[in-house]
Structure 1
Amino acid sequence: MKSMKTYVAAAITVSAVVATAPVVNAQETSAAASPTAPSSSSNRAANRELAKRVQTALYKQKGMDWSDVHAIARSGKIYLVGMVPKQAQIDLAGKVAEGVSGVTSVQNNLTVEEEGH
């Protein structure tokens, strides 16, 4: 009877160790990666800052209507979305965005606003 209790206790102990080993390793792996990898909140902050700099550069272009133009940043890539009154503004917006420090590429999704809208 005593050997059966010892066997069951040993089996439970081994099971507990085996069950927790992957969890411990997963925690160690992600903890080791955390110091070198930028956090998602710092990525979001950097994206917001870059988009803001592009928007500011656009607004500095005098005589143009940028009210319906929005810049979205994702890891250096800028997406321009919205509507402008003239095709020339689409081209200018792309060039201005490319000239902002930190921009690696620009996807210009601007469209010309239809008459009467």
Structure 2
Amino acid sequence: MKAIITATLVFLISGAIVPVVQAQTDSSASDPQLAHSVRVSFAHAGVSTSHVFVFARGGKVTLLGWVPEHDQVALAERTAASVPGVTSVDSWLARGL
């Protein structure tokens, strides 16, 4: 079961990285700043982010990874949505093993 979850996560991350790399070549500098602001907000809110990737493009934030407790998923989504400049949050977060 753990191998299936790991393989699925690797697949999702690899599929998400290619568009992000392409987006960074033709997007404004505000996208990395927005992703950084979301990560800083996570730290202030107490979201465990050691296994969370944050991607931003044009105000849309994508969260990918896992957190140790189920309530952290909702907290991460709410926290990301509250950051100025975030227009939407696409969450691919799960509770880790």
Structure 2 residue 74 is matched with structure 1 residue 91: yes
Q: What letter is aligned with 2:76?
A: A
Tell me by how many angstroms 1:67 deviates: 1.1
TM-score between the two structures when normalised by the length of structure 2: 0.69
Superposed CA RMSD: 1.5
Question: CA–CA distance in 2 between the matches of 1:45 and 1:68?
Answer: 24
Q: What letter is aligned with 1:84?
A: V
Larger RCO, structure (CA 8 Å, separation 6 or more): 2
Structure 2 residue 68 is matched with structure 1 residue 82: no
Structure 2 partner of 1:31: none
Question: CA–CA distance in 2 between the matches of 1:52 and 1:109?
Answer: 18
Structure 1 partner of 2:84: 101
Matched length: 73
TM-score between the two structures when normalised by the length of structure 1: 0.58
Over 6 Å off, 4+ runs: none
Please identify the structure whose Cα radius of gyration is greater. Answer: 1
Structure 2 partner of 1:65: 48
Question: CA–CA distance in 2 between the matches of 1:88 and 1:44?
Answer: 33
Question: CA–CA distance in 1 between the matches of 2:60 and 2:83?
Answer: 11
Percent pairwise identity: 34
Q: What letter is aligned with 1:51?
A: A
Question: CA–CA distance in 1 between the matches of 2:42 and 2:28?
Answer: 21
